[in-house]
C-alpha cells in the first residue's frame, strides 16, 4: 500500500452551498469602524444580509442597501443621480471617514459602472468611496472580504521607509486599543527590514492578540490591513513586507505586490499552534530577527489543550467546504492525529496558499496518516453520497447540511463559526479545539446514538 501520496487536487461542479460574498463585506466593514457600507443589490441580497449576519442587524449595522427597482434594471450604467440618492442615508449622522460601495451580481449583470461613478460623489461629499465588487458569480464567501480589502489596499498611503533608514523609525500607526508604546528595536535589526503588515480582517479582540507573538520575537507589526479604522490604514511604503493572516486574501496580497512592488511573505495562516509557529518563523527572518522559543511555545500550547487533543485523535473528519479556511483548519487537526477524509474548498489559490498544502503533506507524514484529498469547487450532492459511504465522526459543513446530517447520525460542526470565531494565534488554539470537539463531546457518554439513550432510559449519561 502506498502510504504517503501527494495531495490530490480535484475539481467538481461547484454546486455547493456557501454564503454570499457580501456577508464578508458586511463583516469587514464592521471591522473598519468608521466606514459604513452601501450594498447596491436587490431584495435577495438584502434578505440574505439580514438573515446571515442575523443578530448584528438590529444593532444599527454599518451597512445599507440601495435596492434597484424594476425601472433601474435597464442599464443606465452611469446612473450617478440614482446612486447618489441613498448616500445621505448611509452617511447619516455618522461622520464617516470613508464609505464603501459594494457591487453585487445585479450591478454586474446590468453593468453598472461603480468605479466610474464613485469619484464624482466622492469629491462632492468629501468622503472617500471605496468600491468592492463582491458578487456571487465571481466569488464565494470570504472572497468578498478579499475584494474589499484589495480595494482598501489602493488607499493606503505611500511612505518610503528605506530612504529614511538613517533616521530612527517612526513608531507604527496606533492600532485600535493597542497603545503605540515606544518600540525598542535592537539597533542591530534596524538596518534589515521594516516590520511586516499582516493582511486579513481579524476580530478586534484577536488582531492585537497576535501582536504579542511577533513582539515576543521583537518584531513589530507595522499595521493591519484592513485596520480598525480607515484613518489608521497602514502606509505601504517601499520595503514593506505583507503577510496573510488568513488563507484567502490572495487578491489583497497581489495588490501591494503588483501595484506597489511590495514583497509578500508566504506563510501558512496562524491558526493552531503549529500554524502560528510556522507563521512567526516565516515573519521573523524577513525582519531579520531570529526566532526564539517558538517551538517551546507551541509545545506549551499543545500541552495546555491535551484533553481536547485526545478526544479528536484518530477520529475521521470530513470538511465539506464553504470558506477558503478549510486547508489551514484541517492542518491542525491532522497534526493531532485526526484522519481527514476530504477537504472541500471553494477555491484554492495555489500560489498564495503555497505554504499550506506543504505543511499538510509534511504533517501527514509526521503523524502517519494518509494525505487527504482536496476538492476544489465541490458538489454538495456528491459529497453527501461520499459522506454516507465513509461515515465520518465529524463533518464540518454549512448550515444547510448540518441538521440533516445530524439526523443521519453524522456529528457536524457548522463551518461558518470558523470564520467568525477567534481562531488565530497561540491564544486561541485551545478555543478552536474546544469548539470543534463540542459535538463529539455531546455524544460521548454511551455511544449508541441519542434516540436509543433517551428512549430506553437505562443508559443515563449522568451516571
Partner 1 sequence: MKPAHRMHAGPAHIGTPRIASSSKNAHATTHAPLGDDYSNVMRPMLERDRDFTPVTASTVDRHVLARGSQEEVVENTTRKGKEERPDSITPTPTCTSSILQEDLQHFVRGASITSDSDAIPADVNHYRVDESQAADGTSEQAIRHHPNKARRQGTLGRSPVNVPSANTIGTPTLGSHNQHDCRELKRSLRGIGIGINQIVPEGALIGNPHNPPKARFNPVPHREVGLMAAVYSDEEFGTPCISTTPAGIVETAEWIRQTQERVGKRSPASLEEKVDHELYIDQQTRSVSQAARSPRSIDRQNSVGKRAVVFGDATHATAMTKVPSREMGIRVCRAGTYCKHDAEWSNEQARGFCDEIPVTDDHTEVGDTIGRVEPPAISGTQMERHVGKRLDIPRGVTPSPVHIQNFPSGYRPFPGYEGTNQIADSVYNPHTLGTEDHLPDIFGGHDIEGVTESLPTEQDSLIRNPESQLKPSQIPRSVRGKTKVKTEESARRNGITNITIEVIYAAREILGTR
Applying CB under 8 A, which of residues 7, 12, 80, 82 lies at the interface with partner 1? 82
Q: Which of residues 210-239 bind partner 1 (CB under 8 A)?
A: 212
Radius of gyration of the chain (CA): 23
Applying CB under 8 A, which of residues 25, 32, 66, 394 lies at the interface with partner 1? 66
Nearer to partner 1, 163 or 307 (CB): 307
Nearer to partner 1, 63 or 241 (CB): 63
Site string for partner 1, 116-135 (x = CB under 8 A): -------------------x
Applying CB under 8 A, which of residues 28, 99, 201, 209 lies at the interface with partner 1? 209
Overall residue count recorded for the chain in this entry: 463
What lies within 8 Å, CB to CB, of 387 at 6+ separation is: 318, 320, 395, 405, 410
Contact 370, 5 (CB under 8 A): yes
**Distance in angstroms (rounded) separating the CA atoms of residues 279 and 275:** 6
- 182 counts as binding partner 1 under rule CB under 8 A: no
Question: In terms of Cα–Cα distance, which of 450, 446, 422 is closest to 435?
Answer: 422
- 63 counts as binding partner 1 under rule CB under 8 A: yes
| Candidates 12-20, 94-102, 280-288, 328-336; binding stretch for partner 1 (CB under 8 A) | 12-20
Question: In terms of Cα–Cα distance, which of 203, 211, 242, 249 is closest to 418?
Answer: 203
Nearer to partner 1, 263 or 408 (CB): 408
Applying CB under 8 A, which of residues 431, 440, 443, 453 lies at the interface with partner 1? 431
Q: Which of residues 256-295 bind partner 1 (CB under 8 A)?
A: none
Shortest approach of partner 1 to residue 363 CB, angstroms? 22
Applying CB under 8 A, which of residues 29, 30, 33, 68 lies at the interface with partner 1? 68
- 72 counts as binding partner 1 under rule CB under 8 A: yes
Applying CB under 8 A, which of residues 43, 164, 259, 442 lies at the interface with partner 1? 43
- 440 counts as binding partner 1 under rule CB under 8 A: no
**Distance in angstroms (rounded) separating the CA atoms of residues 269 and 329:** 9
**Distance in angstroms (rounded) separating the CA atoms of residues 185 and 178:** 17
**Distance in angstroms (rounded) separating the CA atoms of residues 63 and 335:** 40
Applying CB under 8 A, which of residues 114, 402, 410, 423 lies at the interface with partner 1? 402
Applying CB under 8 A, which of residues 7, 14, 266, 337 lies at the interface with partner 1? 14
| Candidates 83-91, 245-253, 358-366, 437-445; binding stretch for partner 1 (CB under 8 A) | 83-91
Applying CB under 8 A, which of residues 7, 12, 67, 183 lies at the interface with partner 1? 67
Applying CB under 8 A, which of residues 77, 168, 293, 404 lies at the interface with partner 1? 404
Handedness of CA 272, 275, 279, 280 (dihedral sign): positive
| DSSP string across 108-167 | HHTT--HHHHSHHHHHHH-S-EEEEE--TTT--TTHHHHHHHHHHHTTSPP---SGGGGS
| DSSP string across 288-337 | T----SHHHHHHHHHHHTHHHHHHHTT-EEEE---STTHHHHHHHHHHTT
- 304 counts as binding partner 1 under rule CB under 8 A: yes
**Distance in angstroms (rounded) separating the CA atoms of residues 180 and 171:** 7
Where in 70-110 does DSSP place strands (E)? 99-103
> Residue 241's Cα: distance from chain center in Å?
19
DSSP state of 13: -
Nearer to partner 1, 74 or 186 (CB): 74
Applying CB under 8 A, which of residues 30, 35, 83, 287 lies at the interface with partner 1? 83
- 244 counts as binding partner 1 under rule CB under 8 A: no
Amino acid at each position: 500500500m502506498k502510504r504517503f501520496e501527494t495531495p490530490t487536487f480535484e475539481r467538481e461542479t461547484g454546486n455547493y452551498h456557501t454564503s454570499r460574498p457580501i456577508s464578508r463585506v458586511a463583516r469587514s466593514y464592521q471591522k473598519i469602524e468608521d466606514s459604513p457600507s452601501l450594498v447596491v443589490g436587490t431584495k435577495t441580497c438584502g434578505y440574505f444580509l439580514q438573515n446571515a449576519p442575523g443578530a448584528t442587524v438590529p444593532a444599527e449595522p454599518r451597512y445599507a442597501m440601495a435596492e434597484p427597482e424594476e425601472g433601474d434594471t435597464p442599464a443606465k450604467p452611469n446612473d450617478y443621480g440614482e446612486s447618489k440618492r441613498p448616500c445621505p442615508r448611509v452617511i447619516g449622522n455618522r461622520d464617516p471617514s470613508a464609505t464603501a460601495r459594494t457591487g453585487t451580481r445585479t450591478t454586474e449583470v446590468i453593468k453598472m459602472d461603480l468605479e466610474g461613478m464613485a469619484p464624482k460623489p466622492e469629491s462632492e461629499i468629501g468622503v472617500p468611496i471605496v468600491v468592492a465588487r463582491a458578487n456571487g458569480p465571481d466569488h464565494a464567501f470570504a472572497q468578498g472580504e478579499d475584494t474589499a480589502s484589495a480595494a482598501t489596499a489602493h488607499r493606503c498611503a505611500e511612505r518610503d521607509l528605506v530612504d529614511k533608514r538613517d533616521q530612527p523609525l517612526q513608531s507604527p500607526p496606533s492600532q485600535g486599543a493597542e497603545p503605540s508604546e515606544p518600540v525598542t528595536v535592537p539597533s542591530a535589526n534596524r538596518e534589515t527590514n521594516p516590520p511586516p503588515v499582516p493582511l486579513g480582517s481579524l476580530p478586534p479582540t484577536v488582531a492585537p492578540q497576535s501582536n504579542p507573538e511577533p513582539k515576543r520575537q521583537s518584531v513589530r507589526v507595522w499595521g493591519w490591513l484592513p485596520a480598525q479604522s480607515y484613518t489608521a490604514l497602514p502606509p505601504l511604503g517601499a520595503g514593506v513586507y505583507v503577510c496573510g493572516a488568513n488563507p484567502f486574501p490572495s487578491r489583497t496580497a497581489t495588490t501591494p505586490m503588483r501595484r506597489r512592488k511590495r514583497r509578500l511573505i508566504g506563510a501558512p495562516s496562524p491558526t493552531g499552534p503549529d500554524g502560528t509557529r510556522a507563521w512567526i518563523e516565516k515573519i521573523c527572518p524577513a525582519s531579520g530577527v531570529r526566532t526564539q522559543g517558538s517551538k517551546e511555545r507551541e509545545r506549551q500550547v499543545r500541552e495546555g489543550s491535551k484533553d481536547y487533543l485526545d478526544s479528536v485523535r484518530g477520529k475521521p473528519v470530513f470538511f465539506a467546504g464553504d470558506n477558503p479556511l478549510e486547508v489551514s483548519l484541517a492542518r491542525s487537526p491532522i497534526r493531532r492525529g485526526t484522519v481527514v477524509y476530504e477537504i472541500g474548498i471553494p477555491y484554492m489559490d495555489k500560489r498564495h496558499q503555497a505554504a499550506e498544502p506543504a505543511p499538510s503533506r509534511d504533517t501527514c507524514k509526521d503523524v502517519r496518516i494518509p494525505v487527504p484529498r482536496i476538492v476544489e469547487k465541490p458538489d454538495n450532492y456528491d459529497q453527501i453520497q461520499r459522506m454516507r459511504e465513509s461515515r465520518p465522526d465529524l463533518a464540518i459543513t454549512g448550515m444547510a447540511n448540518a441538521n440533516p446530517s445530524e439526523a443521519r447520525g453524522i456529528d457536524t460542526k457548522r463551518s461558518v463559526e470558523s470564520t467568525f470565531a477567534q481562531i488565530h494565534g497561540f491564544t486561541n488554539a485551545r478555543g478552536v479545539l474546544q469548539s470543534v470537539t463540542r459535538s463529539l463531546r455531546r455524544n460521548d457518554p454511551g455511544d449508541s446514538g441519542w434516540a436509543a439513550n433517551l428512549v430506553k432510559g437505562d443508559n443515563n449519561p449522568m451516571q
